[in-house]
Amino acid sequence: MTVKPGWQGRFYEDFEIGDVYQHPLGRTITETDNTWFTLLTMNTNQAHFNAQVGQSSEFGRMLVASPLTISIAMGQSVTDTTQNAFANLGLDDLKLTAPVFAGDTIWSESIVLDKRESGSRPHAGIVTIKTRTLNQDAVEVLSFKRTFYVHKRDTDGVKSLFPQAATPLTVEEA
């Protein structure tokens, strides 16, 4: 029996300036997502949860709260960029370039802009990426740069914590 590890994410050594990662999971934002997010974050701007206010706006409907769009975009990038990161160091040059509405599906992609060894943490490096998010019509809705600390391969902070079962999983017993 061979255990095949799942995707472990990228380590510092895997990042190359100019590499583009098209993150695999699109996300359709629902009205419920938007309402819950405004409640959780105490965002009291009625453009996000009051249909009458949304209808009377220049957009003719409620807007998705921008921090929700930002959060989803950042989350979409984790699989490819920060699965092995241990600290975000900066979020810069954030641009909200088009409105997002309930029912929109957003997709994100990132390009590696810079990388360098950490001067204070020999087990890590610092990487800067730019992420942009597109809606289902390929319209860019936001972009930002993010800098983070990421582990190097084979450091203590990235060893698997998956528990070892007393008996291995086998085809015969399945």
Contact (Cβ atoms closer than 8 angstroms) between residue 70 and residue 122? no
CATH number, domain containing residue 118: 3.10.129.10
Q: What is the pLDDT of residue 63?
A: 96
Identify whether 7 is part of a domain: no
Q: What pLDDT, in 10s, does the model give residues 142-174?
A: 999 999 999 999 887 677 778 888 888 888 776
Q: What pLDDT, in 10s, does the model give residues 95-127?
A: 999 999 999 999 999 999 999 999 999 999 999
Q: Tokens representing 19?
A: 């590499």
pLDDT higher than 90, residue 3: no
Q: What is the pLDDT of residue 8?
A: 85
Alpha-carbon distance of 51 to 123, in angstroms, equals 51
Q: Which domain holds residue 88?
A: 12-154
Q: What is the pLDDT of residue 1?
A: 65
Give the number of domains in the chain: 1
For tokens 């070892």, the residue is: 164
